[in-house]
């Protein structure tokens, strides 16, 4: 569902319009309020094409001509751009339902629409975002949670932040040798198994200006990052770094490396959103399920104006389908 006050309904409908002719390859359905989607369709000038289904397996028979929807009711009327906590709870419930379906193997993957983090916190959601929520749900041992890796993939550049939704001061303290190693391993496994890249080439960023200049501008590289790279190189020779982040994303490097591993959120997200904002897809690696999402937020400022670009969600759906098909063939 995503945040109802944002652009989720609009981009879901637009994505279905673009992808409905691919029903022979894959299909999808939305867990959402049907009336909310019908109202969104009306604003877009789309004839009512929403059909209610009661189980995932029914989606395929309707997908070519209708957007299949497993219904979940919104509590209040949606006002574009204005978050209503009662409706945020419905959005969380839709996420819960999607997770249960993928865990029960009734669906191959889940694609999550954007949620507003403040509204999540306001209603008592205890996770920083989708990634942490799904990791907790997937963890059999609740005392030792899985540590997934967030990859942002696009045709022009792909990145992975070692730390995700942390204030910068805390993010720098959270960077560790083990976290770098697990991030790179998750990323390499994903690129090999889900994208068929046999020998992924990985560039790792430093954390300080000029990658620390041999300890003269900070010692995180010498104490943490370089030891992590040396350890990784024993089994993964195509891991390089640490690179100064101000020159890391050069054209030459973009053409050579499959993935750039960065130490904190904005170090990774600024280059991809600058170079390929509309096509980025958020993929969660290191989990037993397939989960993707568009690489943008709820866009409350343009909600209801019918100007949202659905490209990122379209790509998120395509990548989820591609991974699912590849994994089915392997199994």
Rounded to whole angstroms, how far apart are CA atoms 233 and 43? Answer: 54
Instruction: From 97, 90, 42, 50, select the one nearest 69 (Cα to Cα).
Output: 50
Predicted pLDDT at 126: 85
Cβ atoms within 10 A of the Cβ of 189, count? 14
Predicted pLDDT at 266: 95
User: Any idea what DSSP says for residue 82?
Assistant: B
Predicted pLDDT at 328: 82
Mean pLDDT lowest among 46-50, 127-131, 145-149, 228-232 = 127-131
- The separation between CA 162 and the C-alpha centre of its own chain, rounded to angstroms, equals 15
> Quick check: helix, strand or coil at residue 85?
helix
Residue identified by tokens 């890796």 is 149
Q: Are 41 and 11 in contact (CB under 8 A)?
A: no
Mean pLDDT, residues 188-214 taken together: 93
More confident residue, 232 or 130: 232
Rounded to whole angstroms, how far apart are CA atoms 111 and 122? Answer: 24
What pTM did the predictor assign? 0.87
Q: Under 8 Å CB-to-CB from 269, ≥6 apart: which residues?
A: 152, 159, 161
pLDDT surpasses 80 at 147:
yes
Instruction: From 148, 141, 234, select the one nearest 186 (Cα to Cα).
Output: 148
pLDDT surpasses 80 at 327:
yes
Mean pLDDT, residues 81-100 taken together: 93
Predicted pLDDT at 172: 94
Burial degree of 187 (CB within 10 A; 0-12, 13-18, 19+): buried
Q: Are 159 and 265 in contact (CB under 8 A)?
A: no
pLDDT surpasses 80 at 129:
no
Mean pLDDT, residues 93-108 taken together: 93
Predicted pLDDT at 142: 67
Predicted pLDDT at 140: 75
- Please give the domain boundaries of the chain with CATH numbers for all domains: 1-144+287-325 (3.40.718.10), 147-285 (3.40.718.10)
- The separation between CA 123 and the C-alpha centre of its own chain, rounded to angstroms, equals 22
Residue identified by tokens 């319009």 is 17
Q: Are 1 and 91 in contact (CB under 8 A)?
A: yes
Mean pLDDT, residues 202-227 taken together: 94
Q: Kindly indicate the confidence band of residue 210, based on its pLDDT and cuts at 50, 70 and 90.
A: very high
pLDDT tens track for 282-318:
999 988 899 999 988 999 999 999 999 999 999 999 9
Mean pLDDT, residues 319-328 taken together: 90
Predicted pLDDT at 148: 87
Element (DSSP H or E) covering residue 291:
strand 291-294
pLDDT surpasses 80 at 131:
no
Average pLDDT, the chain: 92
> Quick check: helix, strand or coil at residue 153?
strand
Predicted pLDDT at 196: 86
């Amino acid at each position: 569902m995503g945040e109802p006050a944002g652009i989720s309904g609009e981009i879901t409908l637009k994505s279905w319009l673009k992808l409905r002719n691919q029903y022979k390859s894959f299909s999808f359905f939305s867990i959402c309020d049907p009336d909310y989607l019908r109202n969104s369709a009306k604003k877009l000038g789309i004839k009512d094409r929403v059909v209610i289904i009661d189980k995932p397996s029914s989606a395929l028979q309707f997908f070519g001509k209708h957007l299949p929807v497993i219904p979940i009711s919104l509590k209040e009327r949606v006002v574009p751009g204005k978050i209503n906590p009662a409706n945020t709870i419905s959005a969380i419930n839709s996420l819960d339902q999607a997770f249960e379906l993928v865990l029960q193997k009734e669906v191959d993957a889940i694609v999550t629409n954007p949620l507003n983090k403040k509204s999540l916190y306001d209603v008592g959601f205890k996770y920083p975002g989708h990634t942490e929520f799904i990791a907790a749900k997937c963890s059999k041992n609740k005392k030792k949670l899985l540590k997934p890796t967030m990859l942002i993939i696009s045709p022009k550049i792909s990145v992975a932040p070692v730390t995700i939704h942390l204030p910068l001061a805390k993010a720098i303290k959270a960077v560790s040798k083990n976290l770098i190693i697990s991030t790179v391993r998750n990323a390499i496994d994903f690129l090999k198994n889900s994208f068929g890249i046999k020998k992924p080439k990985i560039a790792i960023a430093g954390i300080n200006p000029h990658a620390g200049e041999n300890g003269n501008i900070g010692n995180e590289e010498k104490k943490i990052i370089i030891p992590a790279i040396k350890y990784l190189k024993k089994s993964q020779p195509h891991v390089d770094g640490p690179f100064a982040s101000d020159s890391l994303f050069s054209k030459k490097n973009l053409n050579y490396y499959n993935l750039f591993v960065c130490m904190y959120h904005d170090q990774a997200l600024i280059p991809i959103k600058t170079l390929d904002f509309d096509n980025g897809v958020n993929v969660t690696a290191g989990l037993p399920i397939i989960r993707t999402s568009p690489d943008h937020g709820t866009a409350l400022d343009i909600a209801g104006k019918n100007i949202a670009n659905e490209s990122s969600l379209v790509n998120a759906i395509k990548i989820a389908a591609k991974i699912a098909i590849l994994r089915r063939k392997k199994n």
